[in-house]
Chain A
Amino acid sequence: MTIGSIKANVKAWLTFAPTSRPRKMLRKYLFTLEKSIHKHPKVEATIYSILNNFPKIKERLLNVRENSLHTHSYQNRFHSIHQLSKESQKIHHLLIEAMKQKEH
């Protein structure tokens, strides 16, 4: 690893550069935070009113949230068979069966 690449990595971490781990963590945290804030309208309203004074930060956060929605929904969306439609569940069953047969 060259000094240049170390520098670049440190910079990426400190500036939450795209694809860096801190950015991914921040995104995940923001998504969870947004969900819990949403359950409390008064808190939500206050946060909005504060953020309205800082339009650039607000825009940034909304962008991060939008990307986080994308990542959350697409990459990590499946954790239960009930998230699949009936036909997908059938295929899931067949895939499991096929894998079991291969084991034998």
Chain B
Amino acid sequence: MRIVIDMQSLQTGSRLRGIGQYSINLVKALINNNTEHEIIIVLNGLLSKEIIAIRQTFSSLLPDKSIKIWYADGPTNDSLGTPDKQKNAQLIRESFLKDLQPDFVLLTTLFEGYHEDCIISIHEYYQDIPTATIFYDLIPLLFQDTYLQDPKIKTWYHKKVKTLKKSDLLLAISNAARDEAITLLELNPDKVVNISADTNDLYRPIDIPIAAKQHLYSTHGIKDNFILYTSSPDARKNHVKLIEAYAKLPQHIIEKYQLVFIGGMHHTIQYKFRDIAKKCGLYDDRLILTNRISDDAMLMLYNLATLFVFPSLHEGFGLPALEAMRCHTPVIGSNVSSLPEVIGYDEALFDPEDSTSIAAKIEEVLTDKVFYNTLTEHAKKQKLKFNWDTSARIVFESLATHMYKPHSSLNTEMIKKQLIQSIHIPDTEQESNEVLKYAYAINKTFPNKKKKQLFIDVSELILKDAKTGIQRVVRNVLHELLLSPPKGYNVEAVYANYGEYGYKYARKFQTKFLGNSIDEEIDDEMIEIAPNDVFLGLDMSHDIQIFQQQYYNELREYGIKVFFIIYDLLPVKNPQWWTESKIKQTVVKEKFEEWLEMLTTNDGVICISDAVANEFSDWIEEKSIEIDSSFQISTSHIGADLLAKNNHIEISTKENIFIEQTKNTLSFLVVGTLEPRKAHAHILSAFELLWKQDIDVNLIIVGKVGWLTQALVTSIQEHPKLDKNLFWLQKISDNYLNELYKNATALMIGSYAEGFGLPLIEAAQYEIPVIARDIPVFHEIAKEFAFYFPNTSEPKILADSIKEWMTLYSQDKHPKSSNIPWLTWKECASQIVQLLHLEQNKS
């Protein structure tokens, strides 16, 4: 069977109530007990807020592709929506369900949609979608004066009852609920099955540490022993009678036991209950009223309570009674509706309409030790009668028994066509953006079943190719991915603009990037998304990506994984490396942190080194940012360009002369843009000390002028050793740089901080020794194959280190860089593909 479960119960306020708990536990049991059926969960895209949380709830139980979303235009709720919007949403939903070709649709909720955009219809547009509905109760119908006073709500509720009756099968949560459905809805008993219920696994007997107990008691004003009742403060729940019954108890019992009410006790209710208690002659501290509390606190209270009393006038099941019994707490309750079935012991029941009957039963339990112990023992046995696995088995059996073959077999295109022709948009709205919204919603509900896509964000590169290190990575990884896409995926370069929601295909860029001629007809249209596509924020464009945060959420809700690359976290700790202005430093830091925080709301990040990954994890901890347990922080080293060492490389005569000039002297190469972080000034000062000691060494600096280095530039330009032992080469060709690498004695890399340290790899390729600052990321990349100098800015210490290295070098005992492991861009791209959980094409 293909069972399609509509889980809108987890998308509305019901998720916080019994219905939500019931649905989640039952569906988990269905999945866990499933051996032969296909289970699909469907969700409503209009109620998008909870979708990601629901995906995470089921992530270990169901493949992501088994959670599907349909979309419509809202609002559709009865208080704000229009009938047209409601009907269109119902039509889209039923068309979507029809397309899934279910053997049964299981509805976990039905009486919703008055205040929220929950959409449920049965056989409104398609008669042949077999539908089973979980039936909880018909309490509003039974207590119309309380719940259906408002004529609008009354009409709405009766409409819902009619819908319920269209179900092919009702799965009642208790025998009492089943009887209620059969009697009140005049249904064929064969079509109503009791599937029963259970509680959350959480509820069990526990040992509670004294400190935790004291904290709980002091928080709620509990002194010692207490009688417990937990429920919403509805009139039906009968709190008032319980207060009256409590007041009728003998004084010594009242003094020994407080009465504790948990759940939704807002101020008005508290005032009302306290007033009643006062009128009954109770002291203020006898009645404890508390709002909803955490599950853990609830568990402790169940365990600590002397007695649980359940005086409700009507229940569909009565979960709290079972929760208390699961904690081996004696339970007494009403002798009406489902409670006799749940409590399962006639002696434990009372007449909920009669406070004297309630008081007598409470007194009996609290004064008769034998009866108390009997109830405790009974709780241990009774709890075993309820089990989610049994409920799941009954559901499977019932669905199989009531299954019928759908009449028609329409394909997706036919269903879609029929839907498009049936959508009704009033004339007044046709001119507005309503049609656009429906087009978008229908396309998302019925995505094209084409090849999956791996979207690569190149927004910054499209805006401006600043030829930075990051953009070099972006170009190279993109190139490799385009040449060799993951198995089953098309790789698409995409970009976004600040202020414009969503991403576009970078068609023109991609064509040019691959060296093809641009067809002027090519348009950069909005991307076509489908579940199971993957998005990779390869380029770093803070403002755009922060702006698109909501779009990433939309992608994730839809079933698209969203990952980003982190190159470094330098602006967090050292914003002064980018600007001298304190104000601007704050902006740099905060913008960057805003971007980092945005990343944590997605599926994961790939850091270019373990050092960056560790820094990111530390930053998350320091900022106390809550991340989901499934958030992935992984590492992939970046690649390097490989140029064959023996290739003949053409360089100018002047460049050749320079290389010949410096060849016979120990020449230390420093590669990188002049910026404070790279520590050029520190290295230059150390070499000045060496030159003062008449040590004949060359310092060759390769790199263009960056920022905040005016003093350094002046000092180089006016240096007495310039063009003698000190050389500064700007904007040189790659070929010339390769020749310099080949002929240098050693590479010096003095950066105070780096995300990776690409020159280390370049030096390794040319097998020239490396002298590096002693920082974690360099150790990670170069391992023991580099000579490390202490991480201080003291020139003398560096000068001494260089001398130490020269001694080792003269004895050929210096670390050899040729063993530094490194990745090609192809390997780097392949590693990223793996970290995105995609499969690499073997070709």
Contact = CB atoms under 8 A, between A and B. Distances in A.
A5 to B, nearest CB: 15
Interface stretch (B482-490, B584-592, B619-627, B640-648): B584-592
Contact of A87 (B435, B438, B528): B528
A63 interface: no
> Interface extent on A, as a size class?
35 or more
A2 interface: no
Interface in A56-104: 69-70, 72-74, 77-89, 91-92, 94-96, 98-99, 101
Interface in B336-388: none
B35 to A, nearest CB: 38
B16 interface: no
Interface string B531-553: 00000000000010001011100
Contact of A99 (B430, B502, B583): B430
Interface stretch (B119-127, B148-156, B440-448, B673-681): B440-448
Given A38-B498, A73-B501, A77-B501, A91 B439 contact: yes
A88 B420 contact: no
A50 to B, nearest CB: 10
B525 interface: yes
Contacts of A84: 436, 439-440, 443, 526
Nearest to B549: A69
Contact of A91 (B443, B547, B586): B443
A81 B442 CA distance: 15
B581 interface: yes
A1 to B, nearest CB: 16
Interface in A9-47: 35, 38, 41, 44-46
B435 A88 contact: no
Contact of A48 (B529, B551, B586): B586
Contacts of B447: 87
Contacts of A82: 525-526
Main secondary structure of the interface of A (DSSP, over half): helix
Given A69-B549, A91-B443, A92-B436, A48 B587 contact: yes
A99 B423 CA distance: 9
B436 A81 contact: yes
Given A38-B543, A69-B547, A95-B438, A87 B583 contact: no
A87 B433 CA distance: 17
Contacts of B421: 98, 101
Nearest to A31: B499
Contact of B420 (A45, A48, A69, A94): A94
- In the A-B complex, the 6 residue pairs with the smallest Cβ-Cβ separation, listed nearest first, are A92-B439, A78-B436, A88-B443, A78-B433, A91-B439, A85-B526
Given A84-B436, A91-B443, 7 more contacts: A41-B587, A49-B586, A52-B586, A77-B502, A84-B526, A95-B438, A96-B435
15 contacts: A45-B581, A48-B587, A73-B550, A78-B436, A78-B437, A79-B433, A83-B526, A84-B439, A87-B447, A87-B528, A88-B440, A91-B439, A98-B420, A98-B423, A99-B425
